[in-house]
Amino acid sequence: MTFQDDQLSPGYNQFDEQRFVEEPPKRHGRRAFARDKARVLHSAGLRRLSAKTQVMSAGADDFPRTRLTHTLEVAQIGRELGEALGCDPDLVETACLVHDIGHPPFGHNGEEALHQAALDIGGFEGNAQTFRLLTRLESKTIRDNRSIGLNLTRATLDAATKYPWAFDGKNPKFGFYQEDQEIFEWVRKDVTTKDKVFEAQVMDIADDIAYSVHDIEDAIYGKHFNPNSLSAQEEFDEVIKVAKSEYAPDLSSDQLNQALNYLISQEWWVKSFTAIQVEMAALKNMTSYLIGKFTEEIEKSTKTENKSTNLTRYNAKLVVPSDTRSQIAVLKAVVNLFVMQRKGAAENYAKEQELILSIVAGLQQNPNKLNPQFKSQFDSATNEKDAKRAIIDQVASLTDSSARRLAQEFVG
């Protein structure tokens, strides 16, 4: 069998495709970004997403998305949009596949609990945990008896970095921990700004589109949201209020009003739903139409506004029209209002956070309960901060169900 260096992807160079640890060449014709995607697809972290909460609790029903199915849909949207804009499709797809891979059990609710538990060691953030998982926790490459994670290319790690800065003690959104700064600086070598790379911008908007559209579908199917409820002025106004405060503070209420009025007035907008086959088809056609509409608008605006013909890495910026942003924001607000704020949700979220904190406390008191990987990390720690980070790493790796099982050992 003949081996030689990977072929470069069009629009990228050897610097972009470099790995932190050099590796022998692979089969002729297999590009570096395709190798990255394969490593992610075979990773334990990706598999665990199948049992982690998206918006509805994982396993609560057969229809709603889990974190994994959401991830696969983001990857499909991101790949097609990225390819249309001139990015390497495997690179964008891989960034989308890992965009939530570091998120803990119970979604953002679990993330908030772990951040509070880890404030004394530099905090916790799902995207920073993603970077840590890819560059340290996933077992693939070892250097000097230390794991370098999946040893992905520089461009892939950059594309997966949604927040390219460290925790400043205030902003809860950040992209890496102090312990992982060496590889982060290698990824961003010669970059002097905190701007997201172009492929990360594509990944981010693909996530927004999938979240806003598919979670509406899940909410309607699960009977948490009746589309007719927006005909009531009180509910309509509340959606606008949530959209303004949580998702689009820079947009005017008039813009958001127009966006929501536009959506609910379209003939493809589902007016009622009882889960019969005809209505299931109408619901699916609505989500398909919205995804196509949003991606086409973004593609057109981005190509029009950018002067460069090479829309990759640091050569371009993604352009999302204000009308598109407004419509995505109000769709997110609908899910927030009717699903995340539904009756009993706050009590359930509080119980989940207590569960996460009980596991952290229990493992601190009894580190012998750590899995072998994290027990080894704990035992080799040279200070209390690194030892606690090993515990936080284990809790973040848990699925919803394994978190509940482990908590039973500590609190019953």
Rounded Cα distance between 407 and 171, Å, is 29
Q: What is the pLDDT of residue 43?
A: 94
Same domain? For 181 and 317 the reply is: no
Same domain? For 334 and 357 the reply is: no
Residue 141 lies in a domain: yes
- Mean pLDDT is lowest, of 18-32, 141-155, 396-410, for 18-32
Same domain? For 202 and 322 the reply is: yes
Q: What is the pLDDT of residue 56?
A: 55
Of 135, 160, 187, which residue constitutes the final position of a domain? 187
Q: Give the angle 366-369-373 at the CA atoms, nearest 5°.
A: 125
Of residues 72 and 53, more confidence is placed in 72
pLDDT over 70 at 210, yes or no: yes
Same domain? For 228 and 166 the reply is: no
Same domain? For 39 and 143 the reply is: yes
Residue 271 lies in a domain: yes
Same domain? For 179 and 217 the reply is: no
What is the per-residue pLDDT across 236-283, written as a single tens digit (0 to 9) for each? 999 999 999 999 999 999 999 999 999 999 999 888 888 788 888 988
Same domain? For 129 and 51 the reply is: yes
Same domain? For 105 and 252 the reply is: no
What is the per-residue pLDDT across 365-408, written as a single tens digit (0 to 9) for each? 999 999 999 999 999 999 999 999 999 999 999 998 899 999 88
Q: What is the pLDDT of residue 62?
A: 60
Residue 26 lies in a domain: no
Range of the domain at 98: 32-187
Rounded Cα distance between 202 and 298, Å, is 10
Nearest CA-CA partner of 45 in 65, 68, 66: 68
Residue 305 lies in a domain: yes
Residue 205 lies in a domain: yes
Neighbours of 108 (CB within 10 A): 14
**Hey, CA dihedral for 280, 284, 285, 286, is it positive or negative?**
positive
pLDDT over 60 at 60, yes or no: no
- Confidence label for 1 from pLDDT (cuts 50, 70 and 90): very low
Q: What is the pLDDT of residue 348?
A: 82
The pTM of the full predicted model, rounded to 2 decimals, is 0.90
Same domain? For 172 and 37 the reply is: yes
Of 342, 368, 393, which residue constitutes the final position of a domain? 342
Nearest CA-CA partner of 67 in 75, 163, 114, 394: 75
Average pLDDT across the chain, whole number: 89
Residue 277 lies in a domain: yes
Of 342, 372, 394, which residue constitutes the final position of a domain? 342
104's CB contacts (< 8 A; 6+ apart) are 52, 110, 111, 114, 124, 126, 129, 356, 395, 396, 397, 398
CATH of residue 100 = 1.10.3210.10
Residue 17 lies in a domain: no
Cα within 13 Å of Cα(48), Cβ side = 24
Residue 8 lies in a domain: no
pLDDT over 90 at 102, yes or no: yes
Nearest CA-CA partner of 149 in 402, 385, 393, 356: 393
Same domain? For 212 and 337 the reply is: yes
Same domain? For 329 and 351 the reply is: no
Number of separate domains in the chain: 3
Task: Report yes or no: 411 and 402 within 8 Å, Cβ to Cβ.
Answer: no
What is the per-residue pLDDT across 331-347, written as a single tens digit (0 to 9) for each? 999 988 888 777 777 78
What whole-number percentage of the chain has pLDDT above 90? 65
Average pLDDT in the 307-327 region? Answer: 92
Q: What is the pLDDT of residue 122?
A: 94
Same domain? For 176 and 47 the reply is: yes
Task: Report yes or no: 143 and 175 within 8 Å, Cβ to Cβ.
Answer: no
Rounded Cα distance between 118 and 218, Å, is 32
